[in-house]
Structure 1
Amino acid sequence: MSRFLLSQEDALFVPAEQLGGKAENLAWLTRNGLPVPRWWVLTTEAFSSLITSNALDELVRQELDGLGTQADISEVQPRAERIQQAILAASLPQALRTELQQTFSEHAQVQFAVRSSVLGEDAQGASFAGQMDSYLYQRGLAAIEQSVLQVAASAFNARALMYRLAKKLPLTDIRAAVIIQQMIDGDASGVLFTAHPLTGSRQHMLISAAWGCGEGVVAGICNADAFSVAHSGSQISAELADKDVAVVFDHAGGLGTVECEVPEAKRHSACLTDSQVLALRDLGLAIATLKGCPQDIEWTLAQGRLHILQTRPVTALPAPQQPVGRRVVFDNSNIQESYCGVTTPLTFSFANRAYATVYEQTMRVLGVSEAAIQSHRDMLDNMLGLIHGRVYYNINNWYRGLQFLPAFKTNKADMERMMGLTDPVDLIEDRELTGREKLAKLPQVLRAAWHLLQGFRQMDRRVSEFRALFEAAYQSVPRTQLQSLSVGELVELARRLDREVLARWTTPIVNDFYVMMMNGRVHRALSEAGVEQPELVQNNLLSGEEGIESTEPTKWLLSMCAEVRGKPALAELLQNHDNATLLGRIQVHDAAFYARCLEYIERYGDRTMGELKLESITLRQDPSFLFAVLKNYLSRPDLTLETLAANEARFRQEAEATAFAAVSKQSGKRGLKRLKKHLAALRAAIRNRENMRLARTRLFGLYRDIFLEIGAQFALDGELENARDIFYLSLDELYAINDGRAVQTRLKPLVRARQAEYADYQAHDLPHHFHTWGMVYRHNAFAYPHAENVSLEGDLRGTGCYPGIVENRVRLIFSPEDELSLNGQILCTVRTDPGWAPLFPTAGGILVERGSTLSHSAVVARELGIPAIVGIPGVTQRLQDGQWVRMDGSTGNIELLDAPNTTPTAKPDTEAAHV
């Protein structure tokens, strides 16, 4: 074997370090029997010998030293030129010249292509496409020797060096081999991509073809035909170019190429026949299959025979234009009330596990077999999604869960109404089952129906038992002594709550089914009776319900406000001091009222904006929000428990008169009796739901305190920067650290990386509804598919939840840090949860971008008698803080006003003013 020059046979098993990228690929093609023109390679050792024998090592080192990734072309160009000039002036080592002479003297009349083969060239992450020079149609020893020097020099041209800098490849060890390959005088040539570089499809190829040799296509000199063809089948999509120029052998000069005009007859005709396209497709597919990844292949066609000149991995593909894979629908119209905005990893992982645990137990309650539960493990583990830090329902899996229940089509519509799904979803249809399928499904449907019916009948007892179970577990946690427990004991305490409470959370879920079904029945009864605006009438029928815990914090605060009004010194204290210092001042000046503040915090201190987000700061950590609300109430002398109670039942009575009359007329006494029964059941179910939600809030408060204490101890030991960094770990990671199965124990860099990522998420909002295909986090834009239906011009419209016309300024509020003073202005926000309730009584009206008629905003607004509209697309983008609007809680219309026409008004549809 020669030292510097290897034949293709000798090169087949030589290490890549001697061959460079292109020659290594040629060896692979040859070894696998692909039609490759005969070739030789001057190894990287020959290149090194050229540099050292001409004493160019130091020059190269000095010129490249100090070039960093920020260097621009003006700095690189002169250095590159000096190196190239030195190489072109050099002499080939005598041993190398001897080997060239011995091999190519007998091929004096054969034409060759001389190309670079740099280490790292044509690799997976760096193609170096077009960065080095090639010399075609070279004939004779002198031409080959000169081409070798030119190719070696091109390894240091400015393009190649800038490419290396951009790819962060080293400049200190540039080594090049040189390929000498028999030149094929192609009739047509081009490039084949086995994955489509324009559409991103991995099931389609793109072939670019032009007349003459491939240099015309690779260098972009020639217009090229484009053939798109699938990996299977025979359909071809061709876009023929005006091929006015071809790159061909320079017959006059005897060496190299020249551009020539294409005869008119060939300019608009295809370079390849259909059979040639398919043959090239099959050849490319064979190469890609053997390589195991998409390939960028250079080819030429001469005298009807295809030749492969080179193959390299495709280094980049765009996202597929056509969706690929399973479609998943994500929607957060409902769950955004609980998990608003960007949510930390600990909160999401905790919530996701809680959903899986709770619904697994619920399936057992419904009589689902263990085998069926385990076969639906993927459904249970993916009830939620986290997209750019925001929590969504995975609607596909919610529909899958519904299929365990009878009457899927009805339940599907009821669930969509309860969840506020306003966008079309057609993933699962209530298709007509075959007799065999119905028979197979019947036992499970009957079991679920029986268990649901039993659960509904025993709901009051089950709710009472559930609340007692929760209270016992809650009281068993030493909340004020958590700092005395070790981290391991704290983790075990959290796991005990997992077992004793979360794993027994089935009653709230069964009650949610009850709400869903009863709400659907009432809605259908009103619609069938021809009631005008059935949604509005149904909303009003649900107002004024006694004993709902969602409104208890507000009533408690109104009672505290009445006490303050009777104590002028206390009122002055509240009005004249900063909220952050008030609790300490009250402790000194009014011990009795201080005790009431502490009692409120103990009862409702976990009920705050974003209360189910573990990272939210509650009244237990900062009581400022409590005093901001009290000040709001004190600014409204008309706001009392008495006025609140007087207002709650008014629209309910009017709605009952309307609904009962319509249903009685349509369906008679029996229909009316059925409606009243379903309405009473719905009211009770909503009351139970809201009351059990307070238990959920308090449970999350316990977990929050446990996790914060773990974070505090980690911070004390230097494992985290501060206690709140704990929220950037997932629950599984936290438990794994405890159990000894953590895959990463250096937490500070992990937390910093996540904090940076989640800070980026804060800057960009996402739509409430979108579809994904295939892998969720890859090639999906998370774009709202019905964007044309959302207008950012003209008046706004949503779903009216409580009647009344209000004309006033808008107050945009998104967090407790915003200005919370309302004093009759219209509260406008993206979403709410129960923690927002204390703000509502001082609002003249409520506008919420997200939500449904059964969302928290609607429920509490009805209870407090405040005109409200929910589900208003883009409202927080359209309206500005302080802008005047007129809202109609009956119709859901919002009119933008240039200036106030009258004194601010707040007028329900009857004469009596709302609170």
Structure 2
Amino acid sequence: MKPISPITAKKAGAKAYHLDRLREAGLPVPPFEVYSYDLFDLPENRSTLKNFQEAYTNGLYTIEGLSQTLKTWARQQFPLEELSTVKEMIEPSTALFSVRSSATIEDSAQSSFAGQFHTSLYQHPSDLQSALLETLLSLYEVSALAYAFEQGLQVADLEMVALVQEMAVGQLSGIYFTANPQGLISEHVIVVGEGDGSQVVEDRIETTMTVYHPLDDLSYTQGLPLLNASQLSSLRGAARSCISLFGPYLDIEFTFVEDHLYLLQVRPITTLPDGQPLILDNSNIVESYPGLSTPLTISFVKEAYTSIFRSLATRLLGGNQVALEAYEPTFQQMVTAVNSRLYYQISSWYQLLQILPFSKQIIPIWQDMLGIEDKTYSAIPIKLGFWQRVKTSGQIMKQFLSTPKQMADLEKDFAEIERYFWQQITKDQSPQALYNLFEELKTQVLDHWDITLINDLYAFIYTGLLKKYRPSEDVQATIAGISQIESMKPAHAMQALTAQFQQLPRSQQDRLLQFTKEELQEWLGSTASLAQEMATFIQLYGDRAPEELKMETATFRTNPERLVAHLAQQHSQDVQSAFPQTPPQKAGFIQEQAIQGIRNRESSRLNRTRIYGMMREIFLNIGKDLVHNGKLDQLEDCFYLTYPELFDLALGKSQSMTDIIAQRRFKYQQDAKLPTFSRLVYLGEAFDRQVTESTETGQTFAQTRFVQGIGCAKGKVKGQIKVVKDVTQVGPLSDHIIVTQMTDPGWVYLLSQSKGIIAEKGSLLSHTAIISRELGIPSVVGVKHATELFQDGDWVIMDGLTGQIERLEGDQDD
């Protein structure tokens, strides 16, 4: 054996090459040297390896037989290795050392071979020869050969290099992923446990996972925190340095000796999906839907955005059906929910904005108005013919110029629709009548609401021009001084109502505060002056409330007792002093148009609140009917169904949804434990982060429809369970999902025959996760008591992306 110098990826393997670059960059790496095995340099040995491969290909060897033959051959060759150079390195030192693999095909951008080769830790100088031999022989283990053949490699392609390194005896060790291997590239994931890295990777100890979002500088930890603030800071700094050296998506193995950080390995994450990034951004939408939203709200918001943007495209493209069909997937993906939080799917917005003439100039204005911080975008526009673009340009100019008139017409039409709705809605309407009213309202309002988007653009452009030619303080004064802006009317009305309430004797105020909801509803229909004023306020502004666009929000209309409580809390103020108005000033053309656009925008936003109030009324009436008929346990359950599910349940098209409601309620509660991140960037499809909880011991799978774990390798499959407690006693697995306590690298051959893997232990960096990702097999780990919950023959659907496992009842036709 001889030392390799200079250390290159081709000669020494990626593992050693990366460590050498870290060392050159001054990053903390335990001292090491890299040595090649002489046997791989001999031409006759290469011929021998090719002959072994040919014999295997022709069926003369099983993979087990090939492994044994290669190991025997390697043992025969090893005594010829000259070890004096390696001994000179380690014998003067009293420190322990490790011998680690750095195979030339290991840790590449195409394949990791994670955990496949032998590492000897805590070695004394007397252990050198056996450690070097074990590392060499591990090149020909059955699992390593199987993995190599899966990657399309041949036996002669495999060369082992030994990395001899001073042993860093760490108290905390783990992996720092600079992107979630599932494909969420905007977050970093740190998995750490007590002891050395081998114990962590092999799931022999409990681990803690910390998720960090660099953009928001926010993090959260699942499990007991092991890393202190100083250690986390050291890791993040080292990760930034590694990214500058090797690129953005890395798997960094580390250990802490006391508080001193050592980097043990850096390799690219090999399992990230291909394709354009999927960017979710909550700029602007977070103002309407802060925090969490329930499934009912999310389903209606998605429908509203789809309908409105479809109508907008129809308006701009002049009914070009071919183009509209091409854009249909975009309409369906304007908003996306992740962990019960709503985001703009920003690439869809950019794709639609590129329909507009001068889109390169318009997009920055739009970004500025919505407060989007990251201005980069890579949305691929859908191709439109030359004449279609000419027609679209003419259409947008026509719509743009007529926007003020169309907004005035919309205001008038909406007032009629609103009057019609409150005349039609009654407490004793049938579910079918409520459904018909919903569809009527959706058609009359949502399918024509797209002009408000053009008005938004109108307001954005003229305000942007105003900002360009006027000082910022003048622009702010102009906007703040808009008289009779619609969004201020509820505040003025509330102030007047507060003054009237506080003129009542204290005994009457207390009596109103003590009313039940039903008593208050009856009082609001009386002839009392305040009752009539409050009823008028509720009719006009009863849907205006914090988080008013969420169906689950209790408003003054749904809960008038809140209005009484609010009035009691206010202090009497003069309306004019509370809301001073800027005296009108002479305005130029651009300023006038900006004011008109902003005024119309605020008016439409208040009317949007009223639309959601009408929809909320329909959904709550449906929910009350379902509770009355025993299909829901409580009214709040309706918020955990999508609106189509709610109507299907009410119209008898579906059966009990008790299990689904319970599962979604639990998920909502779990999602509340996560922070809200402003931007999520995926490669592939979006997925939820899972907050895992221990399953109660003694619980049986038959009692549990849904089981939650950590999704580690994406893919959704249906199959029968095979509980594996003894890996040596396993039959055919081609149609089965394996359930086990844990796996090791030797399972690679077994896993390649299965549909999926569910493990009790594990994390994103465990062997189960790494191997399944490499093989493209769905995996879910961290499922407590899985081997007790599941039995052979159970049918399940498992989702390796979300980590959810669903029990299916009875026999299944797969």
What does residue 33 of structure 2 align with? Answer: none
Return closer, same or farther for 1:30/1:488 CA change in 2, 3 Å cut-off: farther
Matched, 1:271 2:136: yes
Q: What residue identity is the alignment partner of 1:187?
A: A
SS for the counterpart of 1:648 is coil
Aligned residue identity for 2:509? L
| Cα distance per residue 1:394-441 (max 9 Å; x no partner) | 1111111110011122211111111111x223123899x9xxx9xx66
Does 1:392 find its partner at 2:326? no
Q: Cα gap change, 1:775/1:543 in structure 2, threshold over 3 Å: closer, same or farther?
A: same
How many residues are paired up? 508
- 1:336 and 2:286 correspond: yes
For residue 279 of structure 2, give the secondary structure of its aligned residue in structure 1: strand
- Check 1:287–1:459 CA distance in 2 against 1; reply closer, same or farther (3 A cut): closer
Q: What SS does structure 2 have at the residue aligned with 1:286?
A: helix
Asked whether the 8 Å contact 2:521–2:560 carries over to 1, the reply is no
- Given the alignment, which residue of 510, 515, 527 partners 2:459? 515
Structure 2 counterparts to residues 297-336 of structure 1, below 5 A: 321=251, 322=269, 323-325=272-274, 326-336=276-286
Tell me what 1:474 maps to: 418
Q: Is the 8 A contact 1:418 1:516 kept in 2?
A: yes
Listed as ranges, the gaps of 5+ residues in structure 1 are 1-28, 40-112, 114-180, 190-220, 247-258, 291-296, 303-313, 657-674, 782-915
1:363-382 alignment runs, 5 A limit: 363-367=313-317, 369-382=320-333
Per the alignment, do residues 775 and 763 of structure 1 end up closer, same or farther by CA in structure 2, a change over 3 Å counting? Answer: same
- 1:711–1:723: 8 Å Cα contact kept in structure 2? yes
Q: Which residue of 2 aligns with 1:360?
A: 310
Indicate if the aligned counterparts of 1:340 and 1:610 stay in contact, CA closer than 8 A. Answer: yes
**What SS is found at the alignment partner of 2:342?**
strand
Q: Secondary structure at the match of 2:283?
A: coil
The residue that corresponds to 2:676 in the other structure is: 766
Aligned amino acid, residue 500 of structure 1: Q
Residue of structure 1 in register with 2:576 after alignment:
642
1:593 maps onto 2:456 in alignment: no
1:578 maps onto 2:513 in alignment: yes
Task: Return the TM-score normalized by structure 1.
Answer: 0.49
Q: How far apart in 2 are the matches of 1:233 and 1:753?
A: 39
Letter in 2 for 1:398: W
Pick closer, same or farther for the CA change 1:31–1:466 going to 2, 3 Å: farther
Q: Which SS does the other structure have where 1:553 is aligned?
A: helix
Shift in alpha-carbon separation, 1:269–1:465, aligned structure 2, 3 A: same
How is 1:211-610 mapped onto 2 (pairs within 5 angstroms)? 223-227=99-103, 228-229=105-106, 261-263=127-129, 267=132, 271=136, 284-287=147-150, 321=251, 322=269, 323-325=272-274, 326-367=276-317, 369-421=320-372, 423-428=373-378, 442-477=386-421, 481-526=425-470, 531=471, 534=472, 536-564=473-501, 567-569=503-505, 573-574=508-509, 578=513, 583=520, 591-610=528-547
Q: Provide the rounded CA distance (Å) in 2 between the counterparts of 1:451 and 1:344.
A: 38
Q: Deviation at 1:456?
A: 2.8
* Structure 1 partner of 2:590: 678
- On the 8 A contact 2:351/2:379 being kept in 1, the answer is no
Q: 1:188 to 1:514 in 2, by over 3 A?
A: farther
% identical equivalent positions:
21
Instruction: Return the alpha-carbon distance in structure 2 between the equivalents of residues 244 and 513 of structure 1.
Output: 64
Deviations 1:794-851 (A, max 9, x none): xxxxxxxxxxxxxxxxxxxxxxxxxxxxxxxxxxxxxxxxxxxxxxxxxxxxxxxxxx
Aligned partner letter, 1:574: Q
One-letter code of the match for 1:428?
S
1:115-144 per-position Cα deviation (integer Å, ceiling 9, x unaligned): xxxxxxxxxxxxxxxxxxxxxxxxxxxxxx
Q: Which amino acid aligns with 2:322?
A: A
For 1:727-760, what per-residue CA distance to the aligned partner results, in whole angstroms no more than 9, with x for missing partners? 1111233355578875xx3211110110011011
Shift of 1:542: 0.7
> 2:294–2:640: 8 Å Cα contact kept in structure 1?
yes
Cα 1:640–1:444 shift into 2, 3 Å: farther
Alignment correspondent of 1:124: none
CA separation of 1:34/1:609 partners in 2, compared to 1, >3 Å: closer, same or farther?
Answer: farther
Q: Distance in 2 between matches of 1:590 and 1:473?
A: 27
Query: How far apart are residue 698 of structure 1 and its match?
Result: 1.3
Distance 1:408 1:709 in 2: 44
| 2:770 matched residue in structure 1 | none
Give the secondary-structure state (helix, strand or coil) at the position aligned to 1:185: helix
User: Aligned equivalents of 1:244 and 1:381: distance in 2?
Assistant: 54
Structure 2, gaps ≥5 residues long: 1-55, 77-96, 161-200, 210-248, 252-268, 692-814
Distance 1:624 1:736 in 2: 32
183 and 364 in structure 1: CA distance in 2 versus 1, 3 angstrom threshold: closer
CA distance in 1 between counterparts of 2:439 and 2:667 reads 29
> Does structure 1 retain, via aligned residues, the 8 Å contact 2:117–2:144?
no
Given the superposition, is the C-alpha separation of residues 403 and 682 from structure 1 closer, same or farther in structure 2, using an over 3 Å criterion?
same
Contact 2:334-2:344 within 8 A present in 1 as well: yes
Matches within 5 A, 1:130-145: none
SS at match of 1:606: coil
The 1:728–1:186 alpha-carbon spacing in structure 2 relative to 1, beyond 3 Å, is farther
- 2:28 maps to what in 1? none
Match of 2:674, SS state, is coil
Q: Superposition pairs for residues 659-678 of structure 1, below 5 Å?
A: 676-678=588-590
Counterpart in 2 of 1:718? 630
Deviation at 1:235, TM superposition (A): 12
Contact 1:406 1:449 in 2 (8 A): yes
Counting only pairs closer than 5 Å after superposition, residues 671-710 of structure 1 correspond to structure 2 as: 676-710=588-622
Equivalence for 1:798: none
Asked whether the equivalents of residues 605 and 620 of structure 1 are also in contact (C-alpha less than 8 Å), the reply is yes
Local SS of the residue matching 1:760 = helix
In the alignment, what sits opposite 1:36?
A: 63
Decide whether the 8 Å contact of 1:494 with 1:703 is kept in 2: yes
Q: Secondary structure at the match of 2:72?
A: coil
C-alpha separation in 2, matches of 1:237 and 1:502: 53
Q: 1:472: how far off?
A: 2.6
Deviation at 1:367, TM superposition (A): 2.2
* Distance in structure 2 (CA, Å) of the matches to 1:234 and 1:384: 35
- Aligned residue number for residue 266 of structure 2: none
CA 1:406 to 1:455, structure 2 compared with 1: closer, same or farther past 3 Å?
Answer: same
C-alpha contact (below 8 Å) 2:302/2:332 kept by paired residues: yes
Q: CA deviation at 1:451?
A: 2.2
User: Which secondary structure does the structure 2 equivalent of 1:386 belong to?
Assistant: strand
Give me the whole-angstrom Cα distance separating, in 1, the residues matched to 2:289 and 2:601.
18
